[in-house]
Amino acid sequence: MSIDYLRRHNLILFEAVSGSRAYGTDLPHSDTDLKGVFVLPEALYYGLDYVPQVANATNDEVFYELRRFVELLLKNNPTALEILASPADCIRYQHPLFEAFRPAQFLSKLCRQTFAEYAVAQIRKAKGLNKKINNPEPPARKSVLDFCYVTVGAGAQPADKWLSRQGYAAARCGLANVPHLTDLYALFVDLAEVPTLGYRGLVKDAETSNDVLLSAVPKGEVPVAYLSFNRNGYSTYCRVYKEYWDWVARRNAERYENTVQHGKNYDAKNMLHVFRLLRTALEIATTGQLHVRRPDRDFLLRIRRGEFEYDTLVAEAEALVAQVEAAFAKSALPEAPDKQRAVDLLIATRRQFYASL
């Protein structure tokens, strides 16, 4: 099923421009996103092939089936509520039956979670992104040996430096477990002009190995030192390294270039949405209304242009979170939407829609 199918068969209840053009934060090059609500053909609805939503290939046009839409409204899902509160100049089509759906029927204290907590998640995301931008991982991956240390007196030295200072080749070394001590190994070196002890070295392959390499040590050999492998440090490094380069592969090139250009090293669009969500949540708590078209457009666009310092924005956002929490605590909104009223509206709308076909 496609959006074109919905249009050709007159199954759409509502269609509106969404995203930045609805918020009023669009720029000349901004995409035009569409959101909407449709009703499944009666046969499909009563059959086994329920379709909760339909989207185009780029996912910038998304339509929700009526039942799924009401489910989202009852959860105070921001996307669903914003569809319902679409600015008049963004509405492309509205079926007469859809006029019965109004934001006031669904706004509740659940918005504290869905708007404010989502914004908090965006703050965490911004912090993680800021860390990635300011602490890039070099393309060359560190090896196990970079996390190995050799005992020297009461201290320790990085294994590669110790080998260099001693004039030992890693290939002439052998490691053996030290009983009862985790990740500590006795280090042996074959000092013969022509190696005869069969030591295997410290790692199998410096670029791909994820552990040290053990050797069979002839009886009577004496270790020259002890080597410790910081396994936890290596595991943490591997995770951070993978996350960073996965992010590099996935990141939106245009948004990243914008981040680089404004020089503040944070995703400005991400931070824009943090403040949009929090200020929207505060308005819902204090006025009982949802304004999709933002009255603070200039401020939001200043964020997008990178006019503020990252730490300043994070501090202001965290203070705003506290305001939102306090506002919802004393809000006159119901704890949750009236489920039975929503179900009655859903049933009545579907029956009337099918009867009109």
Is pLDDT at 53 greater than 50 in this prediction? yes
pLDDT tens digits, residue range 216-231? Answer: 999 999 999 999 999 9
Lowest mean pLDDT, pick from 34-48, 131-145, 242-256, 302-316: 242-256
Is pLDDT at 207 greater than 50 in this prediction? yes
Q: What is the pLDDT of residue 260?
A: 44
Q: What integer is the mean pLDDT of 336-355?
A: 97
Q: What is the pLDDT of residue 341?
A: 97
Identify which has the larger pLDDT, 343 or 263: 343
Tell me what percent of the residues of the chain surpass a pLDDT of 70.
92
Domain 1-102+337-356 architecture: 2-Layer Sandwich (3.30)
Q: What is the pLDDT of residue 246?
A: 81
Is pLDDT at 54 greater than 80 in this prediction? yes
Q: What is the pLDDT of residue 131?
A: 55
Chain-centroid distance of CA 45 in Å reads: 34
Tell me what percent of the residues of the chain surpass a pLDDT of 90.
71
φ/ψ of 155, rounded to 5, equals -125, -160
Q: What integer is the mean pLDDT of 84-109?
A: 96
Q: What integer is the mean pLDDT of 281-305?
A: 94
Residue limits of CATH 3.30.460 in the chain:
1-102+337-356
User: pLDDT-based confidence at 206, cuts 50/70/90?
Assistant: confident
User: pLDDT-based confidence at 128, cuts 50/70/90?
Assistant: low
